[in-house]
Amino acid sequence: MWHGDAALPAAAAVAEAQPAEQARYLHRAEGLYPRPVPPARAAEMASRFRSLGRLIGKALKDGRALDLPLALPLCAWLTGRATFSAAADVALIDASLSRSLAVIVDLGARFAAAPRGAAGASARAAAEAEAEALCLNWTLPGYPWYELRPGGAAAAVAAGDAAAYAAAVAEHLLVRGVAAQLRDVERGVAEVLGAGALRVFAPRELQAMLGGGGGGGGAAEHWRTGAIAGAVVCRHGYTAESSQVAALVEVLSELDAAQRRAFLSFVTGSPRLPLGGFAALQPRLTVVRKDTPRPDEHLPSCSTCQVYLKLPAYTCKAVLRAKLLQAINEGREHFALD
């Protein structure tokens, strides 16, 4: 579904004959953005993107954060502010490709700036040689079956065409090649929220609403000791003054990004905090005492549906940290009625 994943087969007939792709994860710093797809996959992808739109609409309607980092141009499309189509905008979905396009644009500018006649002949020849060395044709990078002009797979990109090529790549990658997919997401959202419901938001607002308070389990300010301590509810043997609760707050504030996501998955079922951090969790994070003999030998457990953390009365912060990390890293796939 997403740009940056492994390339689909070049020929539509081959693509249609391929078995289902093996499930895999895709991580992109820029966020997720639809990919152009061969005609043979159009119906399949339409269904997927429409379902994605329904998921987005349902999550927003229910006030749920998704672990779904969408690229800014996709959020801009959904909010009616789809203005990204220039070569420089490619950086919003693919920073590496954007740097390559910048080199190509510079090549075209140097060719265009060369004086006419004999005075600029050497500069133009050097630019043409550089363009030839790039071995570019008029297809979309990463999608050799997608021609940017008729017969593009067999047509080389000359130095004089470099700027036009870069502009065509941006236009097709950001808009023309994915317009159907973007409309399908929009239709799916409209089925739940109604047409145009997201136009009241700015693109970055929508990004934050869907992804929660930033990556790595939430924005940094949500993981400060004061923010955590002010949001935690203590019951059944613990109070805010309990040494174990104070140690827990300190340990949570010291977790790195991966550990934060693991803790949230363990306790809430989602690796991200909602907007507003711990204070916005529904139900609230509740810490209760887990009465066991020899507490330092036992792991904490949780009731994810109620966001209950069942914490033994550990004797020190070091033990609490070690047992908590063991639980969230090794026990998050375990289910028990305790």
User: What residues are annotated to the active site?
Assistant: 305
Q: Tell me the C-alpha distance between 234 and 45, whole Å.
A: 47
User: With left for phi above 0 and alpha for psi between -120 and 50, is residue 151 left, alpha or beta?
Assistant: left
**Can the peptide bond before residue 283 be classed as cis, meaning omega within 30 degrees of 0?**
yes
Number of CB atoms found within 10 A of residue 6's CB: 9
3-state SS assignment for residue 48: helix
From 316, 217, 221, 304, select the one nearest 262 (Cα to Cα).
217
Do residues 263 and 217 make contact, with C-beta atoms less than 8 angstroms apart?
yes
Q: Which two tokens stand for residue 239?
A: 């109070």
| Residue showing tokens 């059944």 | 236
Do residues 139 and 153 make contact, with C-beta atoms less than 8 angstroms apart?
yes
Q: Which helix (H) or strand (E) holds 179?
A: helix 179-193
Angle ∠(249,251,256) on CA atoms, nearest 5: 120
Q: Tell me the C-alpha distance between 27 and 49, whole Å.
A: 18
Q: Tell me the C-alpha distance between 31 and 92, whole Å.
A: 8
From 186, 180, 179, 204, select the one nearest 52 (Cα to Cα).
186
Q: Which helix (H) or strand (E) holds 287?
A: strand 286-290
From 67, 61, 9, select the one nearest 40 (Cα to Cα).
9
